[in-house]
Structure 1
Amino acid sequence: MRIARFIGGLLTGLIALVLAAALFVYWFDFATSMAAAAGIGALGYVFLWMAFGLNLLLWTVVGLLRLAEGGARGALRRGSRGRQPRADPGGRERERLLVGAAGAGGGTALSESGAGTGPADADTVETAASDGAAAVQDPETATIAVIIPAHNEEPVIGSAISSALGLFNRWDIYVVSDSSRDATAEIAARTGVNVLELLTNRGKAGAIEAVIEEFSLTENYDGVLILDADTELDAGYVEGAKRQLADPGVAAVAGFVVSEWKPRERNVVGRIISAYRDRLYFMLQYLMRFGQTWKRTNVAFIVPGFASVYRSRALREITVNPPGLVIEDFNMTFEVHRKRLGRVSMRPDTKAYSQDPFTFRDYRKQVGRWTLGFWQTVRRHGVWPSFFWLALALYILEVVLVSFLFLITVAIAVFVLVGTFGGDVVAGLPFFTEGFTAVTAFLPLTALAIGLLVPDYMLTCVMTVVRRRPSYLLYGLFFFPIRIVDAYLSLRMIPKAWTAKSDGRWSSPTRVANKDRK
């Protein structure tokens, strides 16, 4: 059976790879021919590459540079391991001490060869100041508190706590039930972890703020992990987070989100949403945020609130729950950059598994909250001179422009479809025939279909190979409506961010009890 699955997966991967290559060649040839025929020259190529995202391409290149630097420094470290330390004039070996950073958990001293730093890439351990003073904290001695804010999370809270208990002591886990109307608090209490129950609904940010203050977490721990109630930590999460926190310049470690793939527990719509999210997360994290979190760039605009760690001395300076925001994670990340609290670190060794929406309605509501929260954060913080804002401005420009052009193109495609198949019913409408003739002369239905559908499906074929999931070839045919919703919400939430009043209270989606991951 395993051999059959291996062969089947290999054949599917080859088919998907060949299909992706064939679609790219066909799309590029068709698109460049159309651009040449329209006489738009070099500008046409810019719009072609916008089909994949200029920001995605830019930060992919930066991410490759980060990998190259990490590989070079790793080779140098391996080459220096065989060298013996020089003896001092008195015949005794010198011992260089790496003194812990000031602040929470910063008093540990390690010998240069001491245990605790572990294997790492170029971003793991860096000098903290330009004056040459090395400051490295022992990852093994760093203490981390786990906060699990929850509101009516009875189906999933047990799995989240169980996941945390596999990596932390129970007295280091703090569940805050934000005025839950179900058994969330009771389930948490039975596990023996710390439980704080709020009688007034404060929202996620308010719940986080309350539990930090109640237990003085930033005073008693080196770092604080914020874990969503529908999220489970990977076995290597803590080791990876502590390894990144060994660099005293790191203010926050962004969790690496992985969509739970449980097709047997979902209907067709739920599977399409989960597959779409898996593709989106892969592209954003590997091809975009990996480059944005390089120590030489540090422009990541989101430390996702599902499973991320903040250093306590940075968290003390962050306004966790300002008024008027629907979500907290964008704001907390902007605060790190605005107040120059340190850099955001992200590596794939801090994986956590998140539950995606099961219904299209919940998906729309969730994306709407996320998008509104982003624009509200931009409104709250405004613009300040920084490399962070330069990168953010490029991202905002592309999101707005691409979303607008995408929706306009979809509207034109619908118009052409109606004219093509509507027959005499629409032909008699005033000015319809003239408009249809003018539009199809420049953008025929074939061009619209290829321009909208082919680039998107190419990415799905690539993800089929990467994730080794043949079903993506089928589900990918239905991603297009989700992209329309994403584009619409990206634009719809801009004016709402300046007009709507948000209190940050929960909007609980449908939850399903977690079983073993597949």
Structure 2
Amino acid sequence: MRTAHFLGNCLGAALALAVLVVFVTQWLRFVLSVDGGTGLAALFLWLVLGVNITVWATVGMVRLGDDSVRALADRTRHRRQTWRFGKRGRHHSGRARRTPAGPEAEGRTDSGSAPATTSAPQDLTLAVIIPAHNEEPVIADAISSALRLFHRRDVYVVSDSSQDRTADIAAETGVNVLELLTNYGKAGALDAAIETFELTERYDGVVLLDADTELDSAYVRGVREQLSDPKVAAVAGFVVADWDPAGRTVVGRLISAYRDRLYWMLQYLLRFGQTWRHTSVTSIVPGFASAYRSSVLRQLNINPKGLVIEDFNMTFEVHHKRLGRISMRPGTKAYCQDPFTFGDYVKQVRRWTLGFWQTVRLHGPWLSLFWVALACYILEILFVALLLLATACLAVFTLLPVLTDGAVLSLGWYAAGYEAVTAALPLTVVAVGLLVPDYILTCVLATLRRRPSYLVYGLFFLPMRLVDAYLILRTIPQSWTTASDGRWSSPDRAATRL
């Protein structure tokens, strides 16, 4: 069975790769045949990729080389130390020094408090907070995932005025449970848990998880290794979209596939370079699976009034207060559930973009490399969103005569506009020039993921990008007029396969 699955994946990857090669060659041939096509090719590639991704992907390549050299140097140093220790040990007696037992050996004091500084990654103590509001379908899976990597006493669930069995299910697992009678929202629930259980006083770091998050087996090791660097203030989890075709409708699979491509681009091509030790300019530590040093968390305003989400604000505060750098490694993975319905998808994206603009408005600019990178990012997403929507409008404008059998051309103003638009930018050029590069990205991901079904879902990714572009622009004025009262509502969830 495994052999058949492996061969099927290989065949899927080969199919996606073949489609990728065909589309790349045909697209280049088409665009270059249109008046030389050099300027158009650059424009279309910019609409699909963008300058920011190109720049930070290049920085990411430099980081990859730097990380490889440092890892090789560390291994070489470790071998030398091991060799010297072994050689020295042969010339001394076998008497060993007794290691103290008890709480001190685990990096804790007698009162249970963590030491102020810890050098070894394995000595770092971590607490886990899982805020939840009506998460009955998934809370058990999230807790089970956490208990694989953490002791039961270190897991804290906050039921934020849940009207279902969220708190009861959490209590049955034996973890610490705080049940709030008033709906404070996710940020308020986090604040309440930290204060009630005195987590920043008792632990070196705090891990924040969503109720639909499942942790990879290497997550805790990765967090501890990164927090062992005293310059690291927070660790951003590496998000992986949960791919469960059997448990989703066609729309749900489309959303999951689209998000998978988006996560891959944002993390490998953008944030990997932005979280290099020489840069640290990422604008988001995703709240679905993040870790903060306790000394840093104590200085953050987790729940400022009026914001719809907390993770952008917490990240901005780390930068603004210069509390340390933000770290991210691809190996520190966690799996999340994306929306199952288009309605939930729109609500989630609107909430994310609104929270981003609200945070930008709240903090304002300050002189820093972070804000230089952020300003470049904001300018580009605005221009790309406007151009994408304008291009879509032009496409509809030039397509109407076909759909109406030429009836709209009887209008004089329309006929004149149609002639001008099609002369400057024919519909075929827009369709091929824009759709194909976007689809090429999907082919790349289908090859890497070995999921040929992405080739079908990828045909609808450009409309999804148009929805995102509209919400990016629509939420800008709303960030000045909309304030959150802290309440939240969870989208439709499904129990995951552990």
TM-score (norm: length of structure 2):
0.91
1:32 Cα offset (Å): 4.1
Q: 1:15-63 CA deviation, whole Å, 9 max, x = no partner?
A: 22232233223323433444647xxx76973553342121111111111
Give the alignment partner of residue 189 of structure 2, picking from 207, 225, 231. 207
Give the alignment partner of residue 55 of structure 1, picking from 40, 52, 56. 52
Are the counterparts in 2 of residues 160 and 229 from structure 1 also a CA contact under 8 Å? Answer: yes
Are the counterparts in 2 of residues 139 and 245 from structure 1 also a CA contact under 8 Å? Answer: yes
1:490 aligned onto 2:472: yes
Aligned pairs (5 A) from 1:177-256? 177-256=159-238
CA distance in 2, matches of 1:172, 1:339: 28
SS in 2 for 1:11: helix
CA distance in 2, matches of 1:140, 1:423: 71
Name the residue aligned to 2:370: 388
Name the residue aligned to 1:7: 7
Q: 1:376-399 CA deviation, whole Å, 9 max, x = no partner?
A: 000000000000000001110110
1:13 Cα offset (Å): 1.6
Name the residue aligned to 2:80: 82
**Higher relative contact order by CA 8 Å / sep ≥ 6: 1 or 2?**
2
CA distance in 1, matches of 2:322, 2:116: 19
Q: 1:154-186 CA deviation, whole Å, 9 max, x = no partner?
A: 100111011111111111111111111111111
Q: Which range moves more in the overlay, 235-244 or 429-438?
A: 429-438
CA distance in 1, matches of 2:136, 2:41: 53
User: Which amino acid counterpart does residue 212 of structure 1 have in structure 2?
Assistant: I
CA distance in 2, matches of 1:35, 1:409: 20
Q: 1:216-255 CA deviation, whole Å, 9 max, x = no partner?
A: 1111110001110011111111111101111011000101
Aligned pairs (5 A) from 1:17-416? 17-34=17-34, 36=36, 45=42, 48-80=45-77, 81-82=79-80, 105-108=115-118, 137-416=119-398
TM-score (norm: length of structure 1):
0.88
- The alpha-carbon distance between structure 1 residues 357 and 247, as it changes in their structure 2 partners (threshold 3 A), is same
User: Which amino acid counterpart does residue 326 of structure 2 have in structure 1?
Assistant: V
Task: Let me know the Cα RMSD of the aligned residues.
Answer: 2.1
Name the residue aligned to 1:111: none
User: Which amino acid counterpart does residue 24 of structure 2 have in structure 1?
Assistant: F
CA distance in 2, matches of 1:75, 1:185: 47
CA distance in 2, matches of 1:241, 1:441: 56
- The alpha-carbon distance between structure 1 residues 147 and 35, as it changes in their structure 2 partners (threshold 3 A), is farther
User: Which amino acid counterpart does residue 15 of structure 1 have in structure 2?
Assistant: L
- The alpha-carbon distance between structure 1 residues 106 and 21, as it changes in their structure 2 partners (threshold 3 A), is farther
- Among all aligned residue pairs of Structure 1 and Structure 2, give the percentage whose two residues are the same amino acid: 61
Q: 1:350-389 CA deviation, whole Å, 9 max, x = no partner?
A: 1111011000000000000000000000000000000000
CA distance in 2, matches of 1:372, 1:169: 37
Are the counterparts in 1 of residues 23 and 436 from structure 2 also a CA contact under 8 Å? Answer: yes
1:508 Cα offset (Å): 1.6
CA distance in 1, matches of 2:115, 2:404: 70
- The alpha-carbon distance between structure 1 residues 295 and 31, as it changes in their structure 2 partners (threshold 3 A), is same
User: Which amino acid counterpart does residue 67 of structure 1 have in structure 2?
Assistant: L
Name the residue aligned to 1:131: none
5+ long unaligned stretches in structure 1:
93-99, 109-136
Name the residue aligned to 2:104: none
SS in 2 for 1:431: helix
5+ long unaligned stretches in structure 2:
93-106, 108-112
User: Which amino acid counterpart does residue 482 of structure 2 have in structure 1?
Assistant: A
Aligned pairs (5 A) from 1:475-486? 475-486=457-468
Q: Which range moves more in the overlay, 428-437 or 161-170?
A: 428-437
Are the counterparts in 2 of residues 145 and 225 from structure 1 also a CA contact under 8 Å? Answer: yes
SS in 2 for 1:82: helix
Q: Which range moves more in the overlay, 6-15 or 224-233?
A: 6-15
CA distance in 1, matches of 2:359, 2:307: 7
User: Which amino acid counterpart does residue 348 of structure 1 have in structure 2?
Assistant: P
Q: 1:276-330 CA deviation, whole Å, 9 max, x = no partner?
A: 1111111111111111000000001100000110000000000000001000000
